[in-house]
Each structure stands twice: as structure tokens, then as C-alpha cells.
């Protein structure tokens, strides 16, 4: 008989390579939870072994090592996901799966392991979140009219106003400010409105067919987990020096800016960004210039660890254009 409750451990593992935010996915998992829908990428995950895993984080690291061959460095607990039927097998008598998700930051490297691990672009799954080339056309061409129709379908005028306001605030419609950290809210709104394919899968027929332009679906609710992670990471950029987990020990300021932009999904003002990181004491020059490059050689910098003692919130800030 299946247990009534299983505690799962999930890892949202993020890297930035060549200005592309990357996510580590697996295609198979050698444990009792499995990955429903072998055609869908999943996050590395596995069940907690109460006897074998001394802590939750050690259990997570064991599963990541087994499935991807990767040894995690920086990792923090992200959120606990416990909605009923988040694993569809629960409807057929399977266990209810509560997942404790972690966010890990690494530099991309070769992966192996039993899970057929693969690095994927973050915005392949959340294409509406990448605004580095300007506001994505997807938002105005597909999302806005679809959400307007969804609002009109509400039961009464009060509900229609509430849906319209929610769409405006979440996506920055009709003069509302766009908040880059509302990644999870945007995904959940699209899910509720039936605009992502997971909605059709979970509801056994959504009211509106998901479009191929809305990004690739993932196993279970793993796209919701990664949306949570991206929103958390965008917020942390402002007050914690997590960005330095994603760059080499020495880097140019332009390289650092491009990594921040990749995660923020927006272009930053070059001089404002440099002023924030230099005057904020986050970096220090090495006196060495980049050995290769086009044009004027750029000096290499490194993270200045003393800032952790000097400032309560040593983030890079977001000097937007």
C-alpha cells in the first residue's frame, strides 16, 4: 500500500552562461516518485529518506549528485509546496507529495548521473519574463487579449473588475507599474486563466487551449517551482551578493552586468550599475586587464568579501535604463 504522505526534495539549480540564465533539468528519476510524463523535463528531485538523510539539505544534495553528478555549493531553502493533487497520481490513490524546494546557484559545468541531466534556458519555460530586448511582444500580442477575454467571462461585474485589476497589476497593463519580482504571480495567473498547458493537464480540459508560444511545460508543478525561484532571485539581487556565485573569481564589470541583466530580465544603465557596485564596496580591482577582447582592455575585478561586515544589505541594486 502506498504511504499517505511523501516528503519530496526539489532543486532549482541556476547558472548563467553566455548571458543566458540556465536551469538544470532531468528526464528520469530512479526512485519511487518517478517523473510522470517522460516527455516533460523535471527539476532534480527525490523523496526524503527519514533514516538515511540526516538533514533535508543533505538529502537534496544526495539526490542532485545521483541524478546530475553535480556537487552543489550555495543552496537555500526556497518554499514548501503542498497543494493537493500536485502529483496527479494522488487522484488514483497515490501518496500526497509535499515538496521542499531549494534554490542553488552554480557555474555551469558538465553533468552526468542517472537522471539524463541537461542544461536548459530559463526563458524557454517562462518566455514572458525576458524583457532585455524590450517588453516581450508575447505579452501584448497573446497574454493581454487572452486575459481580457478571461476577465469578461467572470460571473458578475465585481468579479470582472477584480480579474481586470489583477491582470493590470501583475503584467503592468493600462499604466500599472511592472514589477519584475512578481514572477510566480504571473505564472499562477496564466495557469488560472488556462493559458499554460499545465492547466489543461491538471484540469482534464481547460477552458482555453494553451498556445505553443507560452513556453515549454514541465513535469508536475515544476514550472511553478522555477517561477518561485526566479522571483526570489530577482529580489535577492537587491540586498544579497548572490550574483557572485554565478561568475568566475575574477570578471569584468560588463560581464557582471550582463549576468545581472540575464536574471533580472531587463537591461541596466551601464554607469549607474558601475557606480552601485564600485561605490557600494562590492568589488575591487585586481590591477590585471582581461587578456583577450575587442577594443580597450577591461580591468578584471573580484568580489570584495569585506562588504559582508560593512553593510547590512550588500546587493548589486538594479540601475535600470
Asked which of 180, 215, 250 is the last residue of a domain, the reply is 215
In this structure, the answer to whether residues 56 and 143 fall within a common structural domain is no
- pLDDT score for 321: 47
Is residue 227 a part of any domain in this protein? no
Is residue 250 a part of any domain in this protein? yes
With 0-12 / 13-18 / 19 or more C-beta atoms within 10 angstroms meaning exposed / middle / buried, residue 168 is middle
Helices vs strands, H then E, count in the chain: 10, 8
- pLDDT score for 91: 80
3-state secondary structure (DSSP) of residue 301: strand
3-state secondary structure (DSSP) of residue 105: strand
Is residue 231 a part of any domain in this protein? no
Asked which of 200, 215, 230 is the last residue of a domain, the reply is 215
- Give me the domain span that covers residue 246: 238-310
Is residue 119 a part of any domain in this protein? yes
Is residue 94 a part of any domain in this protein? yes
Instruction: Report the C-alpha gap between 118 and 142 in whole angstroms.
Output: 29
Is residue 197 a part of any domain in this protein? yes
Sign of CA dihedral 160, 162, 167, 169: positive
CA distances 179 to 99, 107, 139, 236, 261, Å, are: 27, 27, 14, 14, 15
**Blockwise average pLDDT, block size 10, the chain, 321 residues:** 78 94 83 55 91 93 93 92 82 86 93 86 96 95 95 96 98 94 97 89 55 85 95 94 94 95 95 90 93 79 94 74 47
3-state secondary structure (DSSP) of residue 63: helix
In this structure, the answer to whether residues 59 and 170 fall within a common structural domain is no
In this structure, the answer to whether residues 120 and 10 fall within a common structural domain is yes
Which residue carries 533539468 as its cell?
A: 25
Q: Number of structural domains, the chain?
A: 3
Instruction: Report the C-alpha gap between 214 and 219 in whole angstroms.
Output: 16
Instruction: Report the C-alpha gap between 245 and 313 in whole angstroms.
Output: 16
Contact assessment for residue 102 and residue 77, using Cβ atoms and an 8 Å cutoff = yes
Q: What is the CATH number of the domain that holds 249?
A: 1.10.10.10
Instruction: Report the C-alpha gap between 231 and 187 in whole angstroms.
Output: 11
Asked which of 105, 124, 143 is the last residue of a domain, the reply is 124
3-state secondary structure (DSSP) of residue 150: helix
Amino acid at each position: 500500500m502506498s504511504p499517505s504522505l511523501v516528503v519530496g526534495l526539489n532543486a532549482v539549480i541556476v547558472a548563467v552562461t553566455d548571458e543566458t540564465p540556465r536551469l538544470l533539468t532531468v528526464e528520469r528519476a530512479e526512485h519511487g516518485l518517478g517523473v510522470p510524463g517522460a516527455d516533460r523535463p523535471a527539476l532534480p528531485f527525490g523523496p526524503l529518506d527519514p533514516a538515511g538523510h540526516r538533514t533535508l539539505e543533505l538529502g537534496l544534495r544526495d539526490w542532485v549528485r545521483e541524478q546530475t553528478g553535480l556537487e552543489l555549493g550555495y543552496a537555500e531553502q526556497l518554499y514548501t509546496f503542498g497543494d493537493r493533487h500536485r502529483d496527479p497520481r494522488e487522484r488514483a490513490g497515490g501518496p500526497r507529495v509535499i515538496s521542499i524546494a531549494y534554490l542553488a546557484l552554480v557555474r555551469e559545468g558538465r553533468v552526468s548521473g542517472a537522471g539524463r541531466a541537461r542544461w536548459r534556458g530559463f526563458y524557454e519555460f517562462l518566455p514572458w519574463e525576458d524583457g532585455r530586448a524590450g517588453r516581450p511582444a508575447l505579452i501584448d500580442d497573446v497574454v493581454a487579449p487572452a486575459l481580457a477575454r478571461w476577465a469578461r467571462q467572470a460571473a458578475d461585474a465585481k468579479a470582472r473588475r477584480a480579474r481586470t485589476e489583477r491582470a493590470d497589476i501583475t503584467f503592468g497593463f493600462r499604466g500599472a507599474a511592472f514589477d519584475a519580482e512578481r514572477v510566480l504571480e504571473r505564472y499562477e495567473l496564466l495557469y488560472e486563466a488556462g493559458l499554460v498547458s499545465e492547466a489543461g493537464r491538471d484540469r482534464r480540459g481547460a477552458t482555453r487551449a494553451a498556445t505553443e508560444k507560452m513556453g515549454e511545460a514541465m513535469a508536475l508543478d515544476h514550472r511553478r517551482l522555477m517561477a518561485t525561484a526566479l522571483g526570489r532571485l530577482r529580489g535577492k539581487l537587491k540586498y544579497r551578493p548572490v550574483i557572485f556565485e554565478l561568475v568566475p573569481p575574477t570578471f569584468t564589470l560588463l560581464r557582471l552586468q550582463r549576468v545581472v541583466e540575464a536574471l533580472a530580465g531587463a537591461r541596466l544603465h551601464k554607469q549607474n550599475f558601475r557606480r552601485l557596485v564600485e561605490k557600494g564596496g562590492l568589488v575591487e580591482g585586481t590591477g590585471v586587464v582581461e587578456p583577450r577582447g575587442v577594443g580597450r582592455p577591461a580591468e578584471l575585478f573580484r568580489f570584495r568579501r569585506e562588504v559582508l561586515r560593512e553593510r547590512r544589505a550588500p546587493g548589486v541594486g538594479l540601475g535600470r535604463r
